[in-house]
Amino acid sequence: MINDRPTGGFGAHEVLPGKAKLSRKATESTQVTNNVSFTLARGETLGIVGETGAGKSTVGRLVLRMIDPDAGSVHFNGNDVLAMDKKTLRSLRQRAQMIFQDPFSSLDPHMTVREAVGEPLTIHQGLKGEERDTKVIALLQRVGIREDQLNKYPREFSGGQLQRLAIARALTTDPEFIVCDEPVAALDVSIQAQVLNLLLDLQRERGLAYIFISHDLSLVRFLAHRVAVMYKGEIVEMNDTEEIFDNPQHPYTQKLVAAIPDPRNREPDCARSPNVEPDSQATPLRYSSSSIREFFCLLTR
């Protein structure tokens, strides 16, 4: 369930204990999540980590009611998401969006950038023609896509550019909350840093709340304010990020943290890259180097 925090003016998000089942056959079902409960405040990032099959993506889809649980509840700004009719749910879609792991499959290959990014503006805001194009161009420029690429198709872009397009599409309805489901897992590390910087900048500008789903604990550590650890469909531990990594309590969390590669245990690649220098102008929680590999090298100097 998603609900307001008593002290928050913005509707925080909370998933209360419940279950979700996905059918295999008409007479057989598999329990995917159980007893999942959390809150999320405006401008906050909650990282959800765990092994493949732990139920991370299912939780993200449950929160947005892309699938329905068979028990429990979800609240957004005090409103029961599971009780919404189609019209009210469409209104929710404007304020809560999702960025998928594979941007190519989330974009219609037969639509140009103009059409793909502009479609939500037409559906939710009724914008058409020049008025719609003006907003599409502004969004594309904000995520680093040029105006002269407006009439290109998804196949003409790189993976990093496609993810930027997916982010632009998610921003068209001015959402308050975005589920980021492994948004950089398919990208090279240098492109990962660019996309993550963009997400952080947008969060600061717009006060966005993120659920950031990932199997990469190193990314989550530098992005998330709090971390929820999932194992076999349940959240086994949740705490502030530094507490999770510095003082993990659950045995599974301890194993995850222990498995994070430590660049201090080997000769860092940056030893062969003398031109890598710290960026004194870097803002907190920002990847200031050209790649994540270099970022870790800087931490060990």
**Digit-coded pLDDT (tens) for 175-232:** 999 999 999 988 888 888 889 999 999 999 999 999 999 989 989 998 999 999 999 9
CA angle, corner 82, sides to 28 and 12, nearest 5? 120
Q: Report the range of poorest mean pLDDT among 22-26, 56-60, 86-90.
A: 22-26
Over residues 134-161, the mean pLDDT reads 94
The two structure tokens encoding residue 156: 């003409």
With respect to residue 231, please indicate whether it lies within any of the assigned structural domains.
Answer: yes
Q: What is the reported pLDDT for 189?
A: 84
Q: What is the reported pLDDT for 30?
A: 62
With respect to residue 136, please indicate whether it lies within any of the assigned structural domains.
Answer: no
Over residues 71-83, the mean pLDDT reads 89
Whether 298 has a pLDDT exceeding 80, the answer reads: no
CA distance 169 to 140: 9
Is residue 189 domain-shared with residue 282, that is, in the same domain? no
Average pLDDT over the chain, rounded to an integer? 80
Say if CB 2 and CB 53 are below 8 A apart: no
Q: What is the reported pLDDT for 109?
A: 93
Report the CATH number that the domain containing residue 74 is assigned in CATH. 3.40.50.300
Is residue 47 domain-shared with residue 100, that is, in the same domain? yes
Q: What is the reported pLDDT for 25?
A: 44
Is residue 276 domain-shared with residue 238, that is, in the same domain? no
Is residue 74 domain-shared with residue 180, that is, in the same domain? yes
Whether 165 has a pLDDT exceeding 90, the answer reads: yes
With respect to residue 62, please indicate whether it lies within any of the assigned structural domains.
Answer: yes
Question: Domain limits at 223?
Answer: 13-109+175-260
Is residue 94 domain-shared with residue 47, that is, in the same domain? yes
With respect to residue 135, please indicate whether it lies within any of the assigned structural domains.
Answer: no
The continuous run of DSSP H or E covering 239 comes out as strand 234-240
Is residue 224 domain-shared with residue 249, that is, in the same domain? yes
With respect to residue 150, please indicate whether it lies within any of the assigned structural domains.
Answer: no
Whether 55 has a pLDDT exceeding 60, the answer reads: yes
Is residue 195 domain-shared with residue 297, that is, in the same domain? no
With respect to residue 202, please indicate whether it lies within any of the assigned structural domains.
Answer: yes
Q: What is the reported pLDDT for 186?
A: 82
Q: What is the reported pLDDT for 125?
A: 87
Q: What is the reported pLDDT for 70?
A: 84
Is residue 65 domain-shared with residue 19, that is, in the same domain? yes
Q: What share of the chain in percent tops pLDDT 70?
A: 76
CA distance 121 to 109: 19
Over residues 248-277, the mean pLDDT reads 68
Is residue 80 domain-shared with residue 96, that is, in the same domain? yes
With left for phi above 0 and alpha for psi between -120 and 50, is residue 262 left, alpha or beta? Answer: beta
Is residue 294 domain-shared with residue 222, that is, in the same domain? no
With respect to residue 149, please indicate whether it lies within any of the assigned structural domains.
Answer: no
Buried b (16+ CB within 10 A) or exposed e, 241-280: beebbeebeeebbeebbeeeeebeeeebebeeeeebeeee
Is residue 181 domain-shared with residue 292, that is, in the same domain? no
pTM for this structure?
0.78
3-state SS of the chain: helix, strand, coil percent to 5?
Answer: 40, 20, 40
Is residue 255 domain-shared with residue 288, that is, in the same domain? no
The larger pLDDT score, comparing residue 153 to residue 125, is at 153
Total domains in the chain come to 2
With respect to residue 8, please indicate whether it lies within any of the assigned structural domains.
Answer: no
